[in-house]
Structure 1
């Protein structure tokens, strides 16, 4: 109802402005009457049209109604008529909305396509490290942590530890939760094996000792133990693997004992276990990385290229041997 009164007033003032031009009055008086009536008519017309506009066209104020007023006022005689002819058909006869044939979308966050699940899938942790360290988006850093679930534990642990220093609470809590989940799973297996060992028969004890040695070694190998805890874990692993070898001697247990001794810096014991493992049937190629590491620690650098050269060529092209081969060979 308000708009109708505004339009009626605008119509009357516009008629008055035209009448002032056609009346037999002095030029100055006629111009003043015309400008006054035309201004009031344009003002009422602008107010009426502004009330009918959709909300998205009403703002910002005062520019939206001022634009309509300018169109009506500054075009003599035909300004108001032009505004009416331009606006009213658009208000009451809107164009029919056409069916949209396609929907424009922004590029989704990674990963945005299915990935092949392959057992031999290799990951490069460098890209995920960069995302966790430098990505400005918290969501991208969270996605990087979720991606570590498909990585080997040895590669994922450093990335999760890096995320513990993230400024975002969500990233830190997720990293802590994933680390705690891995550590808790190993500790539960150790507790289960210790409970079985307490009630096991004598012939079952070597196998249980070997199992305990592997799980203790797993805590150290994955980097889940640090400082004095790491020293305790390695001592427990060495103790259990030695008890396992005292009952049943096999190549895999000698290999594990050698790796534990190498980690503890007991190089002579490590070499002895590696020799026993080789005699028990462990492939010499499987021992090459550890013997090369021993040669490096003892500064026998001239032996390293010859040892790495015995590895198969496809293995030297894959991490972690690719970088070693590029440097030493």
Structure 2
């Protein structure tokens, strides 16, 4: 409402300023009347336009209103008409905006030092062993040890053994406790099976001997036994496996007995047991890799490509076998 009165006053004063030029009066008087009337008209026009402007165009003061006043005052007639012609279409006929599909954000400032990447060392290409060897933070090395709980025992034990030489007491104690727990659990199963072995029938004894062979083999397979202890564990595993086979256990136990014999270096006995495992229904994917290992131990290297070629396609594509197949074929 105020803007309308201001525009009306500006229009009347601007018309009066031009009418004063036709008055019968000295030129100086006509100029003074024109300048005063034109100046007041520009002030009213400037105030009216400034009030209609959006908030972001009203600042900064006093430059925003002074710019409008200068356009209207210093360019007579055309300036006033130009201000009106520029402002009103822009206010009432704004240009349509396309929907903005992205959000503009400022460029973030760089940190004053490199940020720590807590998870990258654990999941880096080098694996958990590289974390234990090179990570400077003990917490990262502890996290690497805790990650081994989700790994197969065969892969976890070498990492835990590596951690036994860590400079941090916390890392060494955690690695020792995790290794000790695995070994204690297996020994507990062995003691329970030995306790059940006394006073059972011959048929039940076969299953217990097979169980004992598996648990003794687990100690050797995981690397929890070394030196003379390893030799004792393998002897016990072999003895219980043979007793289990004599009691009528077969199939998988033949394969286990063959692996134990192969680990002990008894190539001839291992070959017999592996053939018996295959005759008792063990699949090629389970037996052929150990036939290939046996051929390597026996020095029959020419047999290895033929044995690997007989493996099922799905088995040959597994990470453990893919590189081996490529190197021998």
Which TM class, normalised by the smaller chain length?
0.5 to 0.7
TM-score (norm 1): 0.62
Distance 1:191 1:141 in 2: 34
Aligned counterpart, 1:71? none
Aligned counterpart, 1:38? none
Query: Per the alignment, do residues 227 and 126 of structure 1 end up closer, same or farther by CA in structure 2, a change over 3 Å counting?
Result: farther
| Cα deviation 1:171-223 (Å, max 9, x = unaligned) | 11111111000000000000000001113223210000100000000000000
Alignment of 1:166-245 (within 5 A): 166-245=166-245
Distance 2:223 2:147 in 1: 19
Q: Is the 8 A contact 1:207 1:244 kept in 2?
A: yes
Distance 2:125 2:296 in 1: 25
| Cα deviation 1:106-156 (Å, max 9, x = unaligned) | 6662289xxxxxxxxxx9995111111111111111111111111110011
Match of 1:109 among 107, 118, 122: 118
Q: Is the 8 A contact 2:241 2:257 kept in 1?
A: yes
Indicate the SS of the match to 1:320.
helix
1:284 deviates by 2.2
Query: Per the alignment, do residues 173 and 161 of structure 1 end up closer, same or farther by CA in structure 2, a change over 3 Å counting?
Result: same
1:298 deviates by 1.8
Bigger Rg, structure 1 or 2: 2
Aligned counterpart, 2:145? 145
| Cα deviation 1:88-120 (Å, max 9, x = unaligned) | xxxxxxxxxxxxxxxxx96662289xxxxxxxx
Distance 1:193 1:125 in 2: 42
Q: Is the 8 A contact 2:259 2:290 kept in 1?
A: yes
Aligned counterpart, 1:255? 255
TM-score (norm 2): 0.62
Aligned counterpart, 2:75? none
Indicate the SS of the match to 2:127.
helix
> Cα RMSD over matched residues?
2.3
Query: Per the alignment, do residues 137 and 317 of structure 1 end up closer, same or farther by CA in structure 2, a change over 3 Å counting?
Result: farther
Aligned counterpart, 1:99? none
Alignment of 1:2-17 (within 5 A): none
